A and B are shown apart, each in its own frame.
Chain A
């Protein structure tokens, strides 16, 4: 039986990798991919706890995370396409419409 703390460490590592990826990368598509990493880390946590407490509610919540991830990807990629049309770039440093 694997202790639940192993899963916690694994999901923490994946989450922090996603966090560092959001801060480090300039390509906005890779930033969205890093957000996917963070969402997957929470999913691992949900499923691990659902297994260890033998409660299926954790797995149900993974479905809601999945829904949010799908919605985020659809809207985020549409925003990226709209930004690329106006700026011809996907570098986050060039999106400064709110800065003056």
Chain B
């Protein structure tokens, strides 16, 4: 049963991520990325990361993708575009790396599932993440907020029409 769920989610994730790259209209690319985000969230649920699944949908699908769609519609570029001239080289590189990864992972050393998982946490998923985030990773958490502040100021300054006007 879990294999069935994994195969469904993995299949849809791979198909939509290929569509993101292959579709010519940026709006369609963004929408197939939306489907991919939802299925990645489903994969997180099967991995018992329910809180991350919710965050994935809220932040990625709700905030980041809407920002993309805003910019696509703001710029309103509907020109038919061809692929870049380096497409054959890129496809070759991708195929070589893919076969390499599949060969590496299919080695016997990686094949076995980890033996004897420790007992699952008694606390809920969200509670555990909160405890670790605000104790062990408190300093990186603060740095992350600083990164968001810098990004916010940078985006405002960069997208402003004329800085001298203000």
Contact = CB atoms under 8 A, between A and B. Distances in A.
B132 interface: yes
Given A34-B21, A67-B147, A6 B159 contact: no
Interface string B23-60: 00010011001001100100110011101100110011
Contact of B2 (A1, A8, A23, A59): A1
B155 A30 contact: no
Interface in A33-90: 33-34, 36-37, 40, 43-44, 47-48, 50-54, 56-57, 59-60, 62-64, 66-75, 77-82, 84-85, 89-90
User: What secondary structure prevails in chain B residues at the interface with A?
Assistant: helix
Question: What class of interface size applies to chain B in its complex with A?
Answer: 35 or more
Interface of B: 2-3, 6, 10, 13-14, 17-18, 20-21, 26, 29-30, 33, 36-37, 40, 43-44, 47-49, 51-52, 55-56, 59-60, 63-64, 67-68, 71-72, 74-75, 77, 81-84, 86-87, 89-91, 93-94, 97-98, 101-102, 105-106, 110-114, 117-118, 120-121, 128-129, 132-133, 136-137, 140, 144, 147-148, 150-152, 154-159, 161
